[in-house]
Structure 1
Amino acid sequence: MSYVDGFVVPVPQERLAEYRRMARKAATVWKDHGALAYVEAVADDVKPGKHTSFPQSVKLKANEVVIFAYIVYRSRAHRDRVNTKAMADPRLAGMDVKTMPFDGKRMFWGGFKTFVEQ
């Protein structure tokens, strides 16, 4: 079994190309430090629900799209080692939360032990 970090991010449509460049850089960094897989996907079929949904979870605004992403590791310990190295990587040094192409206050994330894996 593996371990997965998942996150959901609201991104303004006009900053989607900028976000993609940032995500590609992050994917390279995480993979270079040992992540097994790095995936970021833009919402294509996510309707607001009656009680909860991806759009509602990030308080999606009219000009935004939802990004659903995950990174796969061998284990939680492996995730912790990879994240420590990735966060210290100089390729990420220029990233400033004030200039990110998304609202980090509405992003959410967490680590998950796999339950079913085929």
Structure 2
Amino acid sequence: MTYVWGFLTPVPQENKAAYLESARKSWELFKEYGAVSMHECWEAEVPEGKLTSFPLAVKREQGEAVVFSWMIWPDKESADRCGASFETDARWKEMMDMPFDGKRMIYGSFEPIFEA
């Protein structure tokens, strides 16, 4: 069964083009490591919450957009292999100039329990 990496991050509005370029570059490497698909979604309607919300989760600041992303892998082993390559493949280090605050990025790995 597939395996999913999920991300939520705040990105300055003025960095939208740089974020998109970064995603396009990284996709080539993720694909090489076996990723099936990558989805980058720019905030359209993301309401503020009182207890929980996407903006609260990433501590969105004025002038930032919330980006919701996920990546599909054929299996956990492929995802783990790619994750391990972050330490060994120098090409990842070339992409470290991220157009967002990585300290406020939320991420995790997920095992699908239903797909339609």
When normalised by structure 2's length, the TM-score is: 0.89
SS in 1 for 2:55: helix
Deviation at 1:92, TM superposition (A): 2.7
What RMSD, in angstroms, separates the aligned Cα atoms of the two structures?
A: 1.6
Structure 1 residue 60 and structure 2 residue 60: aligned? yes
Answer yes or no: is the 8 Å Cα contact 2:26–2:95 preserved in 1: no
Q: Tell me, yes or no, if the aligned pair for 1:5 and 1:110 is still in contact at 8 Å.
A: yes
Describe the superposition over 1:4-37 as per-residue Cα deviations: whole angstroms up to 9, x where unpaired. 0001110001111111111111111101221011
Gaps of 5+ in 2: none
Q: What amino acid is the match of 1:21?
A: E
| Structure 1 residue 50: Cα displacement | 2.3
Identical counterparts, % of pairs: 41
Query: Does 2:100 align with 1:94?
Result: no
TM-score when normalising by structure 1: 0.88
Q: Does 1:108 align with 2:106?
A: yes
- Name the CA distance, whole Å, in 2 between partners of 1:36 and 1:87: 22
Pairs within 5 Å for 1:20-39: 20-39=20-39
Aligned length: 116
